[in-house]
Structure 1
Amino acid sequence: MTQLAPKLVEATPPSGDSLATGDRITLRDLARAHGVNFILATFVDLNGKPCAKLVPTSAADELEAGALGFAGFAAGLIGQEQHDPDLIAIPDLDSFTPLPFVREGLALVHCDPHVNGQPWPYAPRNILKRAIAELATRGMTAKVGAEVEYFLVDRADDGTLAPADKRDNGPRPCYDARGVTRMYDHLAAVSTAINSLGWGNYANDHEDGAGQFEQNFDYADALTTADRVITLRYILNVLAEERGMTATFMPKPFTDRTGTGLHLHLSLWSEQDEPLFPATAAADVEADARGLGLSPVAYGFVAGLLEHAPALQAFLAPSVNSYKRIGTATSSSGATWSPRKASYGGNDRTHMVRVPDNKRVELRSGDGAANPYLAVATSIMAGIDGIDNSIDPGNPSGPGQAPEGAAVLPATLLHAVEALRHDPVILASLSGDEATGRYFADAKETEFLTWHAQVSNWELDTYLTAF
């Protein structure tokens, strides 16, 4: 990943309608400068569901003034009941994103939900902002890169799934040049779109499962990257639908194929934009017996991730289906690329925390169901705990190995919920107290039990005449 300064708007304003100078730039100014007629005022619930209202540019001033209300209970999992007051969507103008490749004259802006004039503690974007503020009290900022994987599929009338590319059916299709070429129009359209926004798309590839792809963009500050993941999912869905396909981020849509990850590349920086993970001080370099070239800050951050790994999985792998990916033994390609224990090592993709170089660490246990705001926020808070308490991560593990006593990642969503409930640091990492964390845990337990109550074909095949 190459560094890109956070910036969402790259389009050249139409001549004669340039942005105002000297005065505060308004949402209406941005919309007019980019030829935008309608704005998707967007936020996500705790599950990552994108919620939006389509606002005409003529009403942009009202949107910016906090006049746009949502019935939170109807929106989704966001901590509201039917009797609660409106969620008010306050747009963050830094996130303004023209989307002419989706619809001419359309833009998106990410919003921070408020209730009664205060940031709503159950809103994921507000939760990430809180974690960023915690870092700031320590003179630090976070930068994040995200690897967005997804499948392109068709769903038959009987519900069965198949890759949208019918020729994409081999057991080891990763990096297959022919598969990429057959999906050239889709991949090129997505790449062109996000490059027009200044994201710095640098690779588009066929992943390890038939029908699976990944499209990469440069890392940025934590909030910008989380916004971009949500925006990219929207773009992928719309552009795939226009070609008669479905883009899915479901962690494990096929039993015999590799699942979909959301790998996060994390690093801490000083307020002066100096990297804090490399061991630059002579004493730190000399004392680094582990040999990864990391500073004490970086090792503490890694230790926090490992210490809180089981509870973190409730946010990194937040669906019932997630644990079909984590618990699987193999796939048709011979690998799952999904860690099963809380271990770390060098440039080795079998570990939960991979250290590809001394500038960042890669957290590999997240999947396509992860809400990027929550995944990044809780990871930051786990890392802060490791730094604040000087937790020792131990020595890095060798290839394909995990140290004796390394925590085994939860086997099911219910196990992850129980780990979350017993981890006060992660439970309180959402809102500073445990209320939001407990609300999330309760919702995920209900999700698991609702699935568990369904009678599956496996049960009929196994038990119908077994007794």
Structure 2
Amino acid sequence: METLSPQLQTLKDTLADQGVKYALASFVDIHGMCKAKAVPIAHLGQMMHGSELFTGAALDGVPQEVSDEEVAAHPDPNSMTILPWNPEFAWFASDLYLKGKPFDACCRGILKTVLAQAAEMGFMFNLGIETEFFILKESEDGRVHPVSDRDILAKPCYDLQGLLDNYAWVDEIVESMNRLGWDVYSFDHEDGNGQFETDFAYCDALKMADRLTFFRLMVKEIARKYGYFATFMPKPFANRTGSGAHYNMSLADLETGENLFVDPDDARRCGLSSLGYQFIAGVLRHASAICAVIAPTVNSYKRLVARGSMSGFTWAPVYVCYGNNNRTNMLRIPLGGGRVECRAADISTNLYLGAAMILAAGLEGIREGLDPGEPHTENMYNYSLEELNAKGIKMLPRTLGEAIEAFAADPLSKAVMGPLMYDAYVNFKTQEWQEYHNHVSDWEIQRYLKFF
């Protein structure tokens, strides 16, 4: 029988009273995907003190050799989440340790380091994520389709019929989120057939990163219960809108909780404070490097195009600029002000790393008192490339290859990630781009095989 502190004993008793049999010491790989070991509740105390070891070399982007000592997962008791679809398990987000010290390449630890820098400046980083995803079914011939046979509109955004046809699984996801205390305030059918979005309350960035990590696991498992599958691929269909994960960001006073981005007397009439504009300027300065982390896959850049969906514009930004309540900018200040929305991020993002990069850039803008210039209120998609060049507006990276080059060249990247994760990220993503670049696609076969 293990001897526990009063706090751990209370936690163990609470879990046992709720019927929990196993605890999950969970962390993420470079993709932000959950990895874990399951531990019987009888051994909860050992797990909370780092008993569960993992061979980093067995995972994507965990920079270890096979001969290296294993990393240990140290669960955060404040992150405890009972699985709504299987309440015999309790999930804990964990920090990785190596030889008794925080592991330099732990994604969660990287975010915590930047959050500590913000705290030294008196700031708390609040973050809300708009979660877009597809739920699909697979036919016997291997093709995938929306769950509802009526989900065939050319412009399906906000389609009530499509939403109601999917009510059973949507309701289970929303009910699960609310039981976890996430406070869902809306959900809808999005702009792609089979695509949906949930919107829930913002919170501090570490908690939100834990929640998004868990959310993707939960949605996949609930969809599977109904015989469907969920995908968080950014752009699964060439002619449909991709799935974003818009970062809605603000800084709050660490002591009072007051939103420091609010200014109703803003001379630029966006409702944003000078601190918020400085934050924006820092993000714009490092936008290309940030893009490699908030849009981290080859497929991400099929979403970051101005046009390409049957309903018209893709709603994804392609230019490094900001504006008011205008969805054609990378950074948008929604109606009412007080927050900044980054629209370039997609749902495949590893939020621990993405939030760390974008926060660090924003803090740099504040430290240096940068100014982003005047907001763009016009439709940025309507400008020609020549007109954009004349205005000094740059494009976001057009491929993962371009994004990784920008990431590798920007000193902010190594400063945020640390040398170990910086090298691992550059090497892993460079290899991903090279493998894609060397792949001969169906498009090439159809276009060239019998042509030449």
385, 389, 394: which one aligns with 1:407? 394
Is 1:172 aligned to residue 155 of structure 2?
yes
Contact 2:114 2:360 in 1 (8 A): yes
1:17 corresponds in structure 2 to none
1:83 corresponds in structure 2 to 67
Q: Which moved more, 1:89-98 or 1:75-84?
A: 75-84
What amino acid is the match of 2:298? V
What amino acid is the match of 1:408? M
1:5 corresponds in structure 2 to none
What amino acid is the match of 2:442? N
Q: TM-score, normalised by structure 1?
A: 0.90
SS of match in other structure, 1:262: coil
Is 1:447 aligned to residue 398 of structure 2?
no
What amino acid is the match of 1:441? V
Deviations 1:239-272 (A, max 9, x none): 0000011100000000100000010100001112
Task: Report the CA distance between 1:148 and its aligned residue.
Answer: 0.7
Q: Percent identity?
A: 39
Task: Report the CA distance between 1:328 and its aligned residue.
Answer: 5.5
CA distance in 1, matches of 2:153, 2:13: 51
Task: Report the CA distance between 1:76 and its aligned residue.
Answer: 2.5
CA distance in 1, matches of 2:99, 2:126: 32
Within 5 A, what are the aligned runs for 1:413-432? 413-431=400-418
1:307 corresponds in structure 2 to 285
Is 1:342 aligned to residue 320 of structure 2?
yes
1:4 corresponds in structure 2 to none
Task: Report the CA distance between 1:276 and its aligned residue.
Answer: 0.8
CA distance in 2, matches of 1:446, 1:393: 34
Unaligned runs of 5+ residues in structure 1 are 1-19
Contact 1:41 1:89 in 2 (8 A): yes
Deviations 1:374-412 (A, max 9, x none): 111111001011111111101001221386112200010
Contact 1:89 1:113 in 2 (8 A): yes
Within 5 A, what are the aligned runs for 1:127-206? 127-156=110-139, 159-206=142-189
Task: Report the CA distance between 1:157 and its aligned residue.
Answer: 5.7
198, 213, 216: which one aligns with 1:230? 213
Task: Report the CA distance between 1:186 and its aligned residue.
Answer: 0.5
Contact 2:61 2:424 in 1 (8 A): no
SS of match in other structure, 2:312: coil
2:234 corresponds in structure 1 to 251
Contact 2:111 2:206 in 1 (8 A): yes
CA distance in 1, matches of 2:150, 2:220: 21
Contact 1:46 1:123 in 2 (8 A): no
Contact 1:46 1:122 in 2 (8 A): no
Contact 2:246 2:343 in 1 (8 A): yes
437, 440, 443: which one aligns with 2:422? 437
What amino acid is the match of 1:444? K
1:94 corresponds in structure 2 to 78
Deviations 1:127-162 (A, max 9, x none): 111110110111111010011110011234655332
What amino acid is the match of 1:97? T
What amino acid is the match of 1:398? T
CA distance in 1, matches of 2:96, 2:140: 38
1:11 corresponds in structure 2 to none
Deviations 1:19-57 (A, max 9, x none): x9x943454244224331111221111111210111111
Is 1:279 aligned to residue 257 of structure 2?
no
Contact 1:317 1:323 in 2 (8 A): yes
What amino acid is the match of 1:151? F
Deviations 1:318-343 (A, max 9, x none): 00000111136231111201000011
CA distance in 1, matches of 2:409, 2:87: 49
What amino acid is the match of 1:423? D
Contact 1:34 1:98 in 2 (8 A): no
Deviations 1:87-124 (A, max 9, x none): 1010100000112x311322111111111111112111
Q: Which moved more, 1:394-403 or 1:23-32?
A: 23-32
Q: TM-score, normalised by structure 2?
A: 0.93
40, 43, 47: which one aligns with 1:63? 47
CA distance in 2, matches of 1:157, 1:444: 34
What amino acid is the match of 1:397? H
Contact 2:105 2:420 in 1 (8 A): no
CA distance in 1, matches of 2:216, 2:105: 21
CA distance in 2, matches of 1:368, 1:198: 22
Deviations 1:403-453 (A, max 9, x none): 61122000100000011111111332123xx44223201210100111111
Q: In proportion to residue count, which structure has more helix? A: 2
197, 205, 219: which one aligns with 1:214? 197
CA distance in 2, matches of 1:328, 1:290: 26
Change (3 A) 1:308 1:158: farther
Contact 2:260 2:276 in 1 (8 A): yes
Contact 2:147 2:166 in 1 (8 A): no
Contact 2:33 2:213 in 1 (8 A): no
SS of match in other structure, 2:307: coil
Q: Which moved more, 1:309-318 or 1:154-163?
A: 154-163
2:341 corresponds in structure 1 to 362
What is the aligned length? 438
Question: What stretches of structure 1 move > 6 A for 4+ residues in a row?
Answer: none
CA distance in 1, matches of 2:12, 2:70: 23
Deviations 1:285-334 (A, max 9, x none): 4xx43222322211110111111111100001000000111136231111
Contact 2:238 2:308 in 1 (8 A): no
Contact 1:90 1:114 in 2 (8 A): yes
SS of match in other structure, 1:133: helix
Unaligned runs of 5+ residues in structure 2 are none
86, 106, 130: which one aligns with 1:103? 86
Within 5 A, what are the aligned runs for 1:290-329? 290-327=268-305, 329=307
What amino acid is the match of 1:351? N
Change (3 A) 1:381 1:239: same
